[in-house]
Chain A
Amino acid sequence: MNLSCLELKHFRNYNNLIINFSPGMNIFFGQNAQGKTNLLEAVSLLCLGRSFRTRKDSELIQWGSEAAFVRGTFVDNGLEDVIEIGIGEGQKKFKQNGHEVKGTALFSQVPVVSFAPDDLQLIKGGPQLRRDFLDLYLAQLDPAYRVTYYKFYKILQQRNRFLKEVRLVNRELEVWNEQFIDAGLKVICSRIQLIEKIKPYIKAAHEQISLNREALNLDYLSFGSHIIREPDDKKLRELFQNELARVSREEFERKLTLVGPQRDDLRITIGDQIDIRNYGSQGQQRTAALALKLGMIDILKDVREMPPLLLLDDVMSEFDNDRKQALLSLLLSSSQTFLTSTGRSDFPIEASVNTVFYQVIKGAVIHES
């Protein structure tokens, strides 16, 4: 599956744009603030139904316009699929081949992995970022996960609402607890299964790019700081119940749900169980972040039986020459790729049928021939 054509209307700084893409590497270069990343954002919107940069859809609409419109033509094995997305104030419309569809339907279409300088925050930043990372790729690997997560999220909102409104410790909470545990366990188990599945892929990717050959390890941290490796429903249910009972009084005081997958974390360790978030060097952290993403490419390839589209936003400048070369040769041999960079010179390769350069200047895209 690859994106052969992209059309933008009133999207970010693009008034009206149509570009055709190569099925191989597509490189956008130009000064800062010209609209390079906006192109990657449009591609991610077509693949995921949302931007990889922001959750506020209204930011995507060109200043002074009523609505943004994105159309993409995907080609798979000679069959064309046209995805259209319209974004207005407070509304979003999705169409596939002219038929209106739900945004969630897009998740099962085209897998995508994006790289950005911000990826370092996956390691250094708060747990929310790591949970989002797990959830995003789970939804791409298994479209049913979105439904599971959404159910859990609704119950969590109800439970929080209940805690906000009651004044006294109340037994009615137990009604919510039962459903909350059921839905929460499903989310936790899906995440643990995902982590166990991706571990070998990420370890392998890490070994390839790390110079020290240290082993990278991932663990799911739940209920405070319990490391959980097996999705054993019975054991976890007991633990969940106990933890909820333990924090019950505090929950009424703070009026917030304090235990559950919405507070869990992914722990990333290196070598001899050293937590890389707190003790890793900048270089180790950067390599680990890259390994997480590279691992996802491989597992998506295996599970979805098609290579994901790759979006690389200004990451070339982050790497030294050896890694740049290694990354480029990996990209040249894999799926359709979209890259941005400030310098044309970041790419010591020639333009060809499979490698196309585009210069981006103030919302105009010039195909370099």
Chain B
Amino acid sequence: MLYPHAMTRLIHELAKLPGIGPKTAQRLAFHLLTLSESEVGKIAEAMLEAKHKIGFCEICGQLSESSVCPICTDSNRCNGMLCVVEEPKDVITLERTRVFKGQYHVLGGAISPLEGTGPDDLRIKELLSRLQTGSFTEVVIATDPNVEGEATALYLSKLIKPLGIRVTRLARGLPVGGDLEYTDEITLGKALEGRVEF
């Protein structure tokens, strides 16, 4: 062991963060050592505070400082639409569009057997009980358009359709301001499949 134990430990823990490899972790660790104690304290405190104060909304699973998030308490948003997403950050992305006015449900991931994530590890049970007790008329599935997201979407649609609720999937197709010529074949094919009437 080349570094003192405390330094090794710091590098080891930093390297567990996403996007941080061993070299970057080492650089961050050295940087932290050059900071004053109060500055390091601020970083540590911010991390702990976020961890202590932020939990998940009991209803939708979105990040929240209270037991129910502002979107779920907003009575104006009960329009019968429920949007299902993989991660809390997807809610923020969709909210930025200001197009969707319904409620959300965060699954906490997508079905991925290779990563050990099965249906039981996602908030699917909660989703179904929400649908059974609430007055939703449409579920919009907004999982990622990749293998895992598609598998999750298909799985959910099979569970929800028997409840008599309309299930829709986000459209895939041409980007706004794009060029038909530069669109890849798969996307263009999906855009043709999902064409809409004027």
Contact = CB atoms under 8 A, between A and B. Distances in A.
Interface residues of B, number: 14
Main secondary structure of the interface of A (DSSP, over half): strand
Most chain B Cβ neighbours within 10 Å, of A10, A93, A99: A99
Given A77-B5, A98-B18, A10 B12 contact: no
Interface in A86-120: 86-88, 91, 93, 95, 97-99
Nearest to B22: A99
Contacts of A88: 113-114
Contact of A86 (B5, B8, B113): B113
Interface residues of A, number: 21
Interface in B1-49: 5, 8-9, 12, 15-16, 18, 21
Nearest to B117: A69
Interface in B151-180: none
Contacts of A65: 113
Contacts of A10: 113
Given A97-B15, A98-B16, A98-B18, A91 B8 contact: no
Interface string A189-227: 000000000000000000000000000000000000000
A97 B16 contact: yes
B184 interface: no
Contacts of A79: 8-9, 12
A84 interface: yes
Contacts of B113: 9-10, 65-67, 69, 86, 88
A71 interface: yes
A84 B8 contact: no
A156 B1 CA distance: 39
B9 A78 contact: yes
Contact of A71 (B18, B21, B116): B116
B115 interface: yes
Interface in A68-83: 69, 71, 77-79
B7 to A, nearest CB: 12
Contact of A93 (B8, B18, B21, B115): B115
A65 B114 CA distance: 11
A9 B118 CA distance: 9
A87 B114 CA distance: 6
B78 to A, nearest CB: 37
Interface string A1-30: 000000101100000000000000000000
A94 to B, nearest CB: 11
A72 to B, nearest CB: 12
A9 B21 contact: no
Contacts of B18: 98-99
A67 B114 contact: yes
A142 B69 CA distance: 54
Contacts of B118: 9
12 contacts: A7-B116, A9-B113, A66-B113, A69-B114, A69-B115, A78-B5, A78-B9, A84-B116, A86-B113, A88-B114, A93-B114, A95-B115
Given A67-B114, A88-B113, 15 more contacts: A7-B116, A9-B113, A10-B113, A65-B113, A69-B113, A69-B115, A71-B116, A79-B8, A86-B112, A88-B114, A93-B115, A95-B115, A97-B16, A98-B16, A99-B15
